[in-house]
Amino acid sequence: MALNSIKKLLITGGSGFLGTHVVREFERNCPSVEAISTFRSSQYDLREQAAVRALLNDIPCDTVIHLAARVGGIGANREHPGAFFYDNLMMGANLIEEARKNKVQKFILIGTVCSYPKFTPVPFRESDLWNGYPEETNAPYGIAKKALMVQLQAYRKEYAFNGISLLMVNLFGPGDNFDLNNSHVIPGMMRRFHEAKMAGANSVTLWGDGTPTREFLYVEEAARAVRLAAEQYNSQEPLNIGSGLELSMRSLAQAISKVVGFSGSIDWDVSKPNGQPRRLLDTSRSKEALNFEASNDLERGLRETYAWYLRRLGK
């Protein structure tokens, strides 16, 4: 599907973290798109098929980017595994079905690195996706997203429905969620270090032992990858979207504490889970298919994220 055939774009989760950046990315780089529509979850509950049907009747579109999701860190996933599975599965399944019925031309599903098996050879290749069970703490979320990928593949085969799946790594940047109850690792760490600095604390305690590795992608670059995929990618095979930069939790904590200006010690609570041992995507296919490659300026991204957080606090 060429860029000039995207005229009416619907973005679920368009007011969320990634969504606001995707909207801005299309506004800045796609003048041929006539309408970019978003909505609040209070307007249409995507878990209800009737609400999704009403949404697509009220907002006609030729392209859907599905970003809406129930997300959170390890703690939130452990506390609400049923809700993470049900909410994400039903939102996506209803939307894909109603999009098919409404003859939407292209559907872009934002999947997750959490769909990969717990023990996957590093770097993770798209062909490894079915070689084991995901890491237990976020398996319900990862499996729900993977089921939606299968739905799109099945619909392509039966209905010639053009749906693609992007497997996204951990994102960070301005607009991230800093609520300690359900934030991801970078905003969670950043807030803890900031509050410790402001309180004059001598130490901060973090979960696990600091050895697991993760891959992080700056949210503006993720938005660019989503746009490129909407413009150029039409295969049923999932596509990894990442930075190609693997970082241990210990190294990440040191980098964030430096940006925040916290000079105390960093302690690790080994009674808490580490999560998946390593995460790093093989991004060679996205580089080939989309000509997408991240800049990987982690320090700049962390500084911009912290500056946004301080502005939100009114500092």
- Establish if 131 belongs to a structural domain: yes
Contact in structure between 87 and 45 (CB atoms under 8 Å): no
- CATH of residue 150's domain is 3.40.50.720
Co-location of 95 and 205 in the same domain: no
pLDDT of residue 277: 87
* DSSP structural state of residue 294: -
Task: Give the three-class secondary structure for 8.
Answer: strand
Co-location of 37 and 83 in the same domain: yes
pLDDT of residue 276: 81
Co-location of 207 and 74 in the same domain: no
| More confident of the two residues 163 and 73 | 163
Strand-by-strand arrangement of the 170-172 sheet: 170-172, 213-218, 246-248
- The tokens for 161 are 């429905």
Per-residue pLDDT of 103-123, as tens digits, reads: 999 999 999 999 999 999 999
Co-location of 50 and 149 in the same domain: yes
When pLDDT is cut at 50, 70 and 90, the band that residue 1 belongs to is very low
pTM for the full predicted model: 0.93
- Point out the catalytic residue in the list 44, 116, 141, 155: 141
Least confident of 66-80, 88-102, 158-172: 66-80
What's at 24, amino acid-wise? R
Structural domain boundaries, residue 121: 3-173+215-246+279-296
- Establish if 179 belongs to a structural domain: no
Co-location of 236 and 190 in the same domain: no
Q: Does the annotation mark 133 as catalytic?
A: no
C-alpha distances in Å from residue 241, one per residue of 59, 64, 71, 121 = 29, 18, 18, 17
Contact in structure between 203 and 263 (CB atoms under 8 Å): no
- Establish if 180 belongs to a structural domain: no
- The tokens for 200 are 């004059």
Co-location of 55 and 162 in the same domain: yes
Produce one character per residue of 258-284: b if its CB has 16 or more CB atoms within 10 Å, e if not: ebbebeeebebeeeeebbbebbbbbbe
Q: Torsion angle, CA of 18/183/110/98, rounded to 10 degrees?
A: -90
For residues 153-177, give the mean pLDDT: 97
Per-residue pLDDT of 9-38, as tens digits, reads: 999 999 999 999 999 999 999 999 999 999
Longest Cα–Cα distance of the chain, Å, equals 61
Co-location of 43 and 163 in the same domain: yes
- Establish if 12 belongs to a structural domain: yes
Residue 4 has pLDDT above 50, yes or no: no
Co-location of 150 and 220 in the same domain: yes
Per-residue pLDDT of 34-88, as tens digits, reads: 999 999 989 999 999 999 999 999 999 999 999 999 987 777 888 999 999 999 9
Co-location of 235 and 119 in the same domain: yes
C-alpha distances in Å from residue 253, one per residue of 31, 138, 144, 293 = 40, 22, 30, 25
Co-location of 136 and 72 in the same domain: yes
Contact in structure between 230 and 6 (CB atoms under 8 Å): yes
Per-residue pLDDT of 268-310, as tens digits, reads: 999 998 888 889 999 999 999 999 999 878 999 999 999 999 9
Cβ neighbours of residue 99 closer than 8 Å, sequence gap 6 or more: 56, 64, 107, 161
The residues facing 205 across adjacent strands are: 267
Residue 3 has pLDDT above 70, yes or no: no
Co-location of 240 and 251 in the same domain: no
- Establish if 166 belongs to a structural domain: yes
- Establish if 178 belongs to a structural domain: no
Contact in structure between 114 and 141 (CB atoms under 8 Å): yes
Work out how many domains the chain is built from and give that number.
2
- Number of Cβ within 10 Å of residue 80's Cβ equals 17
- CATH of residue 259's domain is 3.90.25.10
Cβ neighbours of residue 253 closer than 8 Å, sequence gap 6 or more: 189, 206, 210, 266
> What proportion of the chain, given as a percentage, has pLDDT over 70?
98
- Establish if 72 belongs to a structural domain: yes
Co-location of 241 and 291 in the same domain: yes
Contact in structure between 96 and 155 (CB atoms under 8 Å): yes
> Within a 13 Å sphere around the CA of 170, how many CA atoms are in the beta-carbon half?
25
Per-residue pLDDT of 238-278, as tens digits, reads: 999 999 889 999 999 999 999 999 999 999 999 998 888 88
Cβ neighbours of residue 45 closer than 8 Å, sequence gap 6 or more: 51
- Establish if 20 belongs to a structural domain: yes
